[in-house]
Chains A and B, each alone.
Chain A
Amino acid sequence: MEACPIGSLNPGRGGEDMVEFNVLGFLIDWSTFFAIYAILAISLNLEIGYTGMANFGKVAFYAIGAYLSAVLTIVAFLTIFGVSAPLYSVDTVIALGEHGAELPWLNIGLFILSIVLSAIVAGVVGYLVTYPTLRVGPAFLGITILSFGEMLRFFLRNYEPLGSTYGLFGVPHPFQWIPNPTVRTGIYALIVLGIMFGIYIYAERLVNSPFGRVLRAIKDDEVAALCLGKHVPRIKATVLFIGSAMAGVAGALYLFYLGSVNPDMFIPRVTFDIWAMVILGGMGNNKGAIVGAAIITFVDRALTFITPSLGLTAYITPDYIRWMTVGLLIVLVLLFKPGGLIPEKPIKTPALEIADKIEEG
């Protein structure tokens, strides 16, 4: 966990935000970030809000998605255009820049393939990680996954073929062939929002199904669920599979938005941002997760766009204020509004709805 003074939600990015205020650009930037973080918040909410598994290593699965997509895309481009260069090299970046806009269908195909593969690989890793961690209670599960994420980051930082600390650069945007950058990022933002909406619908259906009721049972009383014949360890592993797969998708989307990836984007505090979103919005409620993601990403993006013009940076780095706010927000919400902005609601089932109707008359 190292100091990273600039760029907060995307710690790997430098100061390119320091341009004059551009409303459309801000909206596109914010909605992309909002959608990516909403996916992460929904997945975390599934784990902590519905199942009661404290996952402090969300960022690991996010990183797996991003790195996998980067490697897949770069390798595919290098193979198809017959360039032989290591993944991290100037030649590769130049070749990707030259050929990035030549075959639209290749870009889009790789985009879809990356998302699918990221989901599968991150999910399988999440499933496997549960094996050692389910032996300890809910709190130590968090610590173990947290250290797993840190190990992954240490590994990436020290692994030469993946660019060690520099990461991978120049991944072509899926819509590289559209010349106008605003249109390109606008379309991409819409697609990301669409994927986020799809995941939201999926999560809503999942938690209102019989499986979702088992999840709430596990959260409320694990021993009781076990006694009623529910295979708690396997269900927990399944939830971590689903949650990690969603995080993998978010990682892929993040990569294609930025076009580059480096290990220090995936420091643990990204996970804590997602936690702040879920706690602020309300645990055990997918709408709450989305609202929390919207608020925190909005404040974050607005701070990055606005603070340079306030002239306070000479005294105090805006990053410190931002993180102090996040920390304080977590504590204050837990103390004074434990349910969050949108508290958990009772389960919806067809039988309950009919029962309500009969009661009403």
Chain B
Amino acid sequence: MVGVTEVYNTLWIGLIFMVLGLPLTLSYRTTGIINFVHINFITIGAYVGVLLSLLGVKNIFVIALVAFIVGAAIAVFDNIAVFKPLSERGANVVILMVASLGLWIFYKYFLYAIVDLIGKAVKENLVSVILELDILPSINLGGIVVDGKFLTTLTLAVIVVLFYYLVLTKTSIGKAIRAVSDNPQLAEISGIPRDHVVNFMWAMTGGAAAIGGLLWGIFAIVTPEVGDWLILEIFAVAVIGGLSSLLNTAIGAFIIAGAENIVMAALHEAFGLPLSFRPFITFLVLVIVILVKPPLGAGGGLPYRFFKPRKRW
């Protein structure tokens, strides 16, 4: 029977997917890069938690702030060192994607090496860790106990989403980001400092994805492969959102989380489908979306706007 646990997990994982999917959409929408380094943001965010808790820092909000800064720094560095020179030379989307792929492989094994070395130094297994941090206490709502881990996830997810919403709609740099993503040339000749705006966008992207990784670390086990496990779901989330609308991305996060938990549990119940077939459902959703409603920007057509999708005709 599909029970409370599945609904609860759907909400929880949906929140994490939302925090991870929004930055992917934002960076794709602004620069056109399908960024594989997103995987590293997730993993590094989770490992910032691990390493800081080794040092004795246990407060989740402090750790989230550090994770944000580390993720943002890596993202801005990637842009300045790799993506910007490449796109100035006129590299196409595929070349940029392959460059991000090379960075991904590098960072992943760099992290493996660091974690391995530190683990040997402190004589602990850091390759699969269960994070134990100071999180919000569980609360009792009229008989229903809400887990502190869930509350923490909810709080941080709301903070990230509010941050995105406020920056993108209320501040001038947010308007500049939207202008650059709509039409880079027009934005530039209107006097928008495109490089600064794109760097700021990358900082938002890397930071939010790192916080998402930390949230996943609270939910489940941390290994240097967490990002790799999650990336298929995150891409599916972003494709459902049409790779352009942040609101649709948020909806996509809950659709994928629901498909993986509620639909999976129902299929397991009805047909005895093994639970290890969970990724197939995500893949199926991805293929159906690509067949029925291909994302416009990815199909070579005109991209949507951020918040109000323009009608196709």
| A→B interface (CB under 8 Å) | 1-3, 48, 52, 54, 56, 132-133, 135-140, 142-144, 147-148, 150-151, 154-155, 157-158, 222, 269, 272, 275-276, 279, 315-317, 319-321, 323-324, 326-331, 334-335, 338
Can you name 28 A-B pairs with beta carbons within 8 Å? A1-B225, A3-B127, A3-B223, A56-B101, A132-B290, A136-B298, A137-B93, A139-B97, A140-B290, A143-B235, A147-B232, A150-B279, A151-B280, A158-B277, A275-B98, A317-B113, A317-B116, A320-B110, A324-B105, A326-B102, A327-B104, A327-B106, A327-B108, A329-B102, A331-B99, A331-B106, A335-B85, A338-B95
- How many residues of B are in contact with the other chain, CB < 8 A? 53
| Chain A residues, Cβ within 8 Å of B213 | none
Contact, CB under 8 Å: B34 / A140: yes
Counting from the closest, the 7 A-B pairs by CB-CB distance are A330-B102, A327-B106, A327-B105, A1-B228, A323-B109, A331-B102, A140-B298
Contact, CB under 8 Å: A330 / B113: no
Is B253 an interface position by the 8 A CB rule?
no
Contact, CB under 8 Å: A158 / B276: yes
Name the residue on B nearest A328 (C-beta): B106
| Chain B residues, Cβ within 8 Å of A323 | 105-106, 108-109
Name the residue on B nearest A158 (C-beta): B276
In-complex Cβ contact of B225 among A3, A148, A316, A320 (8 A): A3
Contact, CB under 8 Å: B299 / A137: yes
Name the residue on A nearest B32 (C-beta): A139
| Chain B residues, Cβ within 8 Å of A148 | 283
Contact, CB under 8 Å: A334 / B34: no
Contact, CB under 8 Å: B105 / A269: yes
Contact, CB under 8 Å: B291 / A320: no
What is the distance, in angstroms, from B267's C-beta to the closest C-beta of chain A?
14
Contact, CB under 8 Å: B94 / A48: yes
What is the distance, in angstroms, from B169's C-beta to the closest C-beta of chain A?
28
| Chain B residues, Cβ within 8 Å of A320 | 109-110, 112-113, 116
Name the residue on A nearest B113 (C-beta): A320
What is the distance, in angstroms, from B228's C-beta to the closest C-beta of chain A?
4
Contact, CB under 8 Å: A137 / B223: no
What is the distance, in angstroms, from A240's C-beta to the closest C-beta of chain B?
15
Contact, CB under 8 Å: A158 / B274: yes
A-B interface contact total, Cβ < 8 Å: 143
| Chain B residues, Cβ within 8 Å of A272 | 101, 105
What is the distance, in angstroms, from B297's C-beta to the closest C-beta of chain A?
8
Contact, CB under 8 Å: A324 / B228: no
Contact, CB under 8 Å: B34 / A139: yes
Q: Is the interface of A mostly helix, strand, loop or mixed?
A: helix
Name the residue on A nearest B287 (C-beta): A132
What is the distance, in angstroms, from B37's C-beta to the closest C-beta of chain A?
11
| Chain A residues, Cβ within 8 Å of B276 | 154, 157-158
Contact, CB under 8 Å: A135 / B108: no
Q: Is the interface of B mostly helix, strand, loop or mixed?
A: helix
| Chain A residues, Cβ within 8 Å of B287 | 132, 144
Contact, CB under 8 Å: B225 / A334: no
Knowing A144-B290, A323-B105, A328-B106 are in contact, say whether A136-B299 is a contact too (CB < 8 A).
yes
**Cα separation A326 to B102 with both chains bound (whole Å):** 7
| B→A interface (CB under 8 Å) | 34, 82, 85-86, 89, 91-95, 97-99, 101-110, 112-113, 116-117, 120, 127, 223-225, 228-229, 232, 235, 239, 274, 276-277, 279-280, 283, 286-287, 290-291, 294-295, 297-300
| Chain A residues, Cβ within 8 Å of B300 | 137, 222
Contact, CB under 8 Å: A275 / B294: no
| Chain A residues, Cβ within 8 Å of B104 | 327
Knowing A151-B279, A279-B98, A335-B85 are in contact, say whether A140-B295 is a contact too (CB < 8 A).
yes
Name the residue on A nearest B128 (C-beta): A3
Name the residue on A nearest B99 (C-beta): A334
Contact, CB under 8 Å: A275 / B101: yes
In-complex Cβ contact of B116 among A140, A143, A279, A316 (8 A): A316
Contact, CB under 8 Å: A54 / B279: no
| Chain A residues, Cβ within 8 Å of B239 | 140
Contact, CB under 8 Å: A135 / B291: yes
Name the residue on A nearest B107 (C-beta): A327
What is the distance, in angstroms, from A54's C-beta to the closest C-beta of chain B?
5
What is the distance, in angstroms, from B33's C-beta to the closest C-beta of chain A?
8
Contact, CB under 8 Å: B94 / A54: yes
| Chain A residues, Cβ within 8 Å of B107 | 327
Contact, CB under 8 Å: A327 / B97: no
| Chain B residues, Cβ within 8 Å of A324 | 105-106, 109-110, 113
In-complex Cβ contact of B98 among A150, A151, A330 (8 A): A330
| Chain A residues, Cβ within 8 Å of B110 | 320, 324
What is the distance, in angstroms, from B94's C-beta to the closest C-beta of chain A?
5
Contact, CB under 8 Å: B298 / A139: yes
| Chain B residues, Cβ within 8 Å of A329 | 102
Contact, CB under 8 Å: B91 / A334: yes
In-complex Cβ contact of A327 among B85, B109, B232, B280 (8 A): B109
What is the distance, in angstroms, from B20's C-beta to the closest C-beta of chain A?
15
Contact, CB under 8 Å: B98 / A334: yes
**Cα separation A301 to B48 with both chains bound (whole Å):** 35
What is the distance, in angstroms, from A61's C-beta to the closest C-beta of chain B?
17
What is the distance, in angstroms, from B299's C-beta to the closest C-beta of chain A?
5
Contact, CB under 8 Å: A135 / B290: yes
